[in-house]
Amino acid sequence: MRKIVAAAMICLWAAALAPAESTARLSEMRASRGVDPKLQSPVGVSETFGPEAKPIYLSVKLSDAPPGTQVKITAYFLQNGQPQQIAVQEFPDVFGTGYLSTKITPPAAGWFIGRYKAVFQLNRKEQGTIGFTVSQAKAAAPPAPAYRTFSSPEHGFSIQYPAGWVEGEKGTSSVVCMFLANADNSPVSSLNVQIVPVSGAGDSRSKEAINLVAQQLIDQITGDLKGRLRNDTWTTAGTFSGRELDSEYAYKGAKIRQRQFLTFRANKVFILILTADERVYGSVAGYYLNAAKTLQFYAK
């Protein structure tokens, strides 16, 4: 256990030794982030503190104390439930009414994470205890990624894609848009939308149309690419229902993860596709989810 130093501040006048009487009492036992510089009363009372190297103050109000009254404050860290004393402050000769406080200073690296307690004694007799906690620092929330919107007036839809990504070669006429994490697409990280017309598929046959195209994709993944299907489920993205395929396959020595969301609109199956190297998949999957969530259709 590293040493934790306690420094005391007393708001009461010391007095000549005299036997304490039963009129003295303790109240308002508190842990706080500070104390009033004159009164020593607690400021910023709390039961939870951060791990940074800032002092914690323990204070108590002494009332109607005759000369010679003794007060003692002892702080403990509850290591695995067992109390380990970290600081003690004695006020051996105080009287009157007012606040007593002690400042506990942590090691330079910060407080030990966990539960603490403080015990308050009056004339060698315990009068009460309080507990407080030092919790882990909360991780700073990462900044929200910036997005741009791609719109296709010809096909009547729009999606959001990461603002830092670049436009890539579409490759085939069925690919309406293609966005890459970097111009070299290395490691592989791409978002694209493909559109597959399905003849004779009205709104009443939308599920049948989606299943038809999904099976073609599955055959390609498990056949030509010798990959495997990790998951296949019906789900929703934003306000649209559809089928999602989650698959993996090898490509030029890299393990590729691919997710495809298929939905139906006006005799066409729209397919949103994320293709990513397994090594970077975790960092780009959120972009695919955002694109699916922001997919919108509008009148051409």
Q: Give Cβ neighbours of residue 276 (< 8 Å, ≥ 6 apart).
A: 187, 188, 189, 190, 256, 257, 258, 284, 285
- Print pLDDT tens along the chain (300 aa): 444 444 444 344 333 333 444 689 999 999 999 999 999 999 999 999 998 879 999 999 999 999 999 999 999 999 888 999 999 999 999 999 999 999 999 988 789 999 999 999 999 999 999 999 999 877 777 677 799 999 999 999 999 999 999 999 998 899 999 999 999 999 999 999 999 999 876 667 899 999 999 999 999 999 999 999 999 999 998 788 999 999 999 998 899 999 999 999 989 999 999 999 999 999 999 999 999 999 999 876
Q: Give Cβ neighbours of residue 60 (< 8 Å, ≥ 6 apart).
A: 26, 27, 28, 29, 30, 71, 73, 99, 100, 101, 120
Residues 188 and 106 in one domain: no
Q: Residue 94 forms beta bridges with which residues?
A: 14, 69
Residue after which a domain boundary falls, among 88, 113, 134: 134
pTM of the full predicted structure?
0.54
38 is in which domain, residue-wise? 5-134
**Inside any domain, residue 141:** no
Residues 266 and 287 in one domain: yes
Rounded CA-CA distance 127/25 in Å is 8
Rounded CA-CA distance 276/282 in Å is 9
Residue 50's nearest CA partner among 108, 107, 133 is 133
